Structure formats: C-alpha cells, structure tokens
A and B are shown apart, each in its own frame.
Chain A
C-alpha cells in the first residue's frame, strides 16, 4: 500500500485541508491512523497560551534587532566612478578612435602587391588587416557576450567604504549596498536572502540598461548574527531561489558574519 508522506500526515494532524481521498486513506489505513493519533496527541501537548505569548515576545525582541532597511542616498563612491566614466568617454575613446583610423590608413597604403615580400612591417600589416574570405565572414557569428550580471557589494563601515566582488563580511553597524554591472538591458531584481529565511529586497524588479547600477536600498546590520546571500536575477529566478534555496539561475554573492 502506498502511504502519504510524513509531511502530509503531519499537516493532516494539525487540521490542514488535504487533497480528496487523503482522509479516506487515513481512515482505512491502521498504520497511518495510528501515526496521526500520536501526532494529534503531541499537538495537544503543545505550548500553552502563556508559553506562546512569552515565545512571541522573545521573537519580537529578536526581530527588532535584525536588519534595518535604509532608504538613504547612494554611497559617495558613485562620484569618483562618474569622474572615471567622464575621463573614459572624453579622452580615452577619441584617442582609441584616432589610433584605429591611423592603422586603417596605414594598411591601405601598404598593399601586398606593392610591398617587398621580405618586409617584416608589411607582413605584420597584412596579417592584421587580412580580410576574411567572404564565406567565412558570413558564417562568423556576431560578437556576443555571455550576459548575466556582475555583482559587487559596497560595504560602509565607520564611514569607510570598501568594495567586494566575492564574499563580504559584515559586523554590527555595517551597511551594504549592491552594485550590479549589466552588459545589456535586462529586467532584474536584487535581494538579500538570509540563511534563516529572511528576505530583503534591495533593488526592486525593473528593466535596467547596460551599465552599473546601485541598489535603491541598503541593508544595515544590527547586533544579531546574520548570514545570507545576495541574489540578482529575474523576478522568477530570485523567487525560485528564495523558495528552494537552489541558486541556479541567479548571480550571487555571499554575506558572512564577522565577529566584532
């Protein structure tokens, strides 16, 4: 005889509704009925109202000491990054374009027929600029990136900021903000999933363009020891990771506790 799972029998014992036929099986099966009877006896010996009240009060105190969400401004680190970006776009890019034009002009002036075969400079130029056979060129796929998101964390501790691209260690008073670099437009959501099952969204689900994005919210850590994982991915992938704790399909970064 096939019996229901232990989990279902336990749910039945606490009075949760279960699929049709389940109760019939329990009625007909002596072993299952016996187990459900034992479980119901155990449930009856559960915490009294006073005990439950005391436990909840302790849990309230504990919960209040946990993660605090802050909606303040992005970290000051953004400013130097912006300056670097300006430097890259205003100086480096024009220089690179000029170098490319020079190379192209030089290669056109050094045609293979007019150059001595023994000239090393010409050989190098020919290798660099050799056109692909048309069939090969047509079959060559266009450049593609693997995609996904590069995740880092900016940790603020006592006014000092540090950036981590692998495990970040936190202690009471630390605040973290997530930094996500995208190579193309993607709909992503960013969150912290605590090992205890707690869940905190730092970047709401939204379509974000290529570039670097900081989380709209930061997470501040209080005295309670906290470990978890930062999850970045589509809303569905993050939800799946949250419910199953299987991290396939999301980009992650680990948060570990550091004793003060």
Chain B
C-alpha cells in the first residue's frame, strides 16, 4: 500500500507543509496511524481519499506544533505535477502559503476546496455540513486569504462544480 500511494501522499504533505523534512515526518506519522488505527481504511469507499484525510490531519498537527520552524519552500519547487484542470492556481497558491494562518476547521475546508478541487457540495457532504455553512466558511477563508496574502493576488473564485 505504501508503495502504491506513497509518492502521491508525499506530494500532498510537501504541498501542505512546504517543508520536505516535515513532509517526511507527516508520512511517517500517517503510517503509524495506519498501523494503530487502520481499520477505517478497509471500510473506506476510496482508500486514497481516506489516506489523504489522515495525511491532512498529520500535516495540520505538524503545522500547529511547529509553524515557526518550517523552511517554507516555494510550492513550485515542491510539486512537479502542477494544478489540476479547472482549478485556480492562484487560489491554490494563496491557500498553501497561508495555511498556517487558518484555524483547524478552516484548514480542512480550504484543503478540500483549493487543493483537492472539490465543489462546495462535495465538501459539504464530506464534512456533514449544509452547503450554506460551507459557502459562508469558504467566504471567510477567501476574505482572510486576501488580507494575509500579497495585494496582487487575484480574486478567488468559488470552487468549481466539478462533476454533474
């Protein structure tokens, strides 16, 4: 399983943490979680999605603990693959750069919308919230990123409705 998913999970952790060493720590922590509490993975509809959420939590925890210690490498140097079609690269860039400034609830939603490219409906379903709540929180995140990001950052679009 690690051979199959390891590269993509490493990429994800590097993207969220912008620090290769911390990303390695996050992946290691994820493996440890899998060994201790991996029963959820077997029941998951999409193992990759389950692993991504566990990786997100490991990264968020590391961000919370050591945000002052990160090397914060630019994401262009960390992600050779690039952004998925239909996603706003600037929104993704702004979100990754400002991730540590968001609170935990905002981070989970921001990752879904701006890293995973999920629609608000999909995020609402996964988080067990109403679309109205997700929309409101997404607006809060966008306005917070505008404040904390460079003034040249363009306006962020609402997450696309990915699939019908």
By a beta-carbon cutoff of 8 Å, the part of chain A in contact with chain B is: 1-11, 13-16, 19, 29, 31-32, 35, 38-39, 42-49, 52, 55-56, 58-60, 62-63, 66-67, 194-199, 227, 240, 243-246
* Contact between chains at A63 and B36 (CB < 8 Å): yes
A24 CB → nearest B CB, Å = 12
In the assembled complex, 10 residue pairs joining A and B whose CB atoms fall closer than 8 Å, in A order, are A2-B161, A11-B48, A19-B163, A31-B85, A31-B86, A38-B82, A39-B8, A43-B4, A62-B32, A198-B33
* Contact between chains at B37 and A4 (CB < 8 Å): no
B47 CB → nearest A CB, Å = 7
The distance in angstroms between the C-alpha atoms of A222 and B83, with both chains bound, is: 41
The distance in angstroms between the C-alpha atoms of A55 and B87, with both chains bound, is: 33
Q: Which residues of B contact A39 (CB under 8 A)?
A: 8, 81
A20 CB → nearest B CB, Å = 11
Q: Which residues of B contact A56 (CB under 8 A)?
A: 2, 31, 35
The distance in angstroms between the C-alpha atoms of A244 and B127, with both chains bound, is: 5
The distance in angstroms between the C-alpha atoms of A131 and B46, with both chains bound, is: 65
Given contacts A14-B4, A195-B57, A245-B57, are A5 and B84 in contact (CB under 8 A)? Answer: yes
Segment touching A, from B68-76, B117-125, B144-152: B117-125
Q: Which residues of A contact B11 (CB under 8 A)?
A: 42
* Contact between chains at A55 and B28 (CB < 8 Å): yes
- Residues of chain B in range 90-114 having any CB-CB distance to chain A below 8 Å: 104-105, 108
* Contact between chains at B126 and A197 (CB < 8 Å): no
B52 CB → nearest A CB, Å = 7
* Contact between chains at B126 and A244 (CB < 8 Å): yes
The listed residue (B34, B46, B129) touching A59 by CB distance below 8 A is: B34
* Contact between chains at B8 and A42 (CB < 8 Å): yes
Contacts between the two chains (Cβ within 8 Å), count: 156
The distance in angstroms between the C-alpha atoms of A38 and B104, with both chains bound, is: 31
The distance in angstroms between the C-alpha atoms of A39 and B80, with both chains bound, is: 9
The distance in angstroms between the C-alpha atoms of A6 and B37, with both chains bound, is: 26
The distance in angstroms between the C-alpha atoms of A175 and B164, with both chains bound, is: 50
Q: Which residues of A contact B48 (CB under 8 A)?
A: 7, 10-11, 14, 16
The distance in angstroms between the C-alpha atoms of A201 and B29, with both chains bound, is: 20
Q: Which 9 A-B pairs have the closest CB atoms?
A: A59-B31, A6-B84, A46-B7, A31-B85, A3-B86, A7-B116, A6-B117, A5-B117, A11-B48
Name the residue on B nearest A10 (C-beta). B8
- Residues of chain B in range 118-164 having any CB-CB distance to chain A below 8 Å: 118-119, 122, 126-129, 160-164
Q: Is B13 an interface residue (CB 8 A)?
A: no
* Contact between chains at B162 and A2 (CB < 8 Å): yes
* Contact between chains at B7 and A59 (CB < 8 Å): no
Name the residue on A nearest B85 (C-beta). A31
Given contacts A56-B31, A246-B128, are A43 and B7 in contact (CB under 8 A)? Answer: yes
Q: Which residues of A contact B127 (CB under 8 A)?
A: 244, 246
* Contact between chains at A52 and B28 (CB < 8 Å): no
* Contact between chains at A55 and B2 (CB < 8 Å): yes
* Contact between chains at A35 and B85 (CB < 8 Å): yes
Among A58, A60, A197, the most chain B Cβ lie within 10 Å of the Cβ of A197
Given contacts A5-B162, A66-B36, A244-B126, are A55 and B7 in contact (CB under 8 A)? Answer: no
Name the residue on B nearest A241 (C-beta). B128
Q: Which residues of B contact A44 (CB under 8 A)?
A: 7
Q: Which residues of B contact A245 (CB under 8 A)?
A: 57, 104-105, 108
* Contact between chains at A60 and B35 (CB < 8 Å): yes
The distance in angstroms between the C-alpha atoms of A246 and B53, with both chains bound, is: 13
* Contact between chains at A199 and B87 (CB < 8 Å): no
Q: Is B54 an interface residue (CB 8 A)?
A: yes
Name the residue on A nearest B83 (C-beta). A6
Given contacts A45-B7, A246-B128, are A9 and B84 in contact (CB under 8 A)? Answer: yes
Q: Which residues of B contact A29 (CB under 8 A)?
A: 85
The distance in angstroms between the C-alpha atoms of A55 and B27, with both chains bound, is: 9
Q: Which residues of B contact A240 (CB under 8 A)?
A: 128
* Contact between chains at A42 and B81 (CB < 8 Å): yes
Given contacts A49-B3, A60-B35, 9 further A-B contacts (CB under 8 A): A3-B160, A9-B84, A11-B46, A52-B2, A52-B3, A55-B6, A58-B31, A59-B35, A246-B127
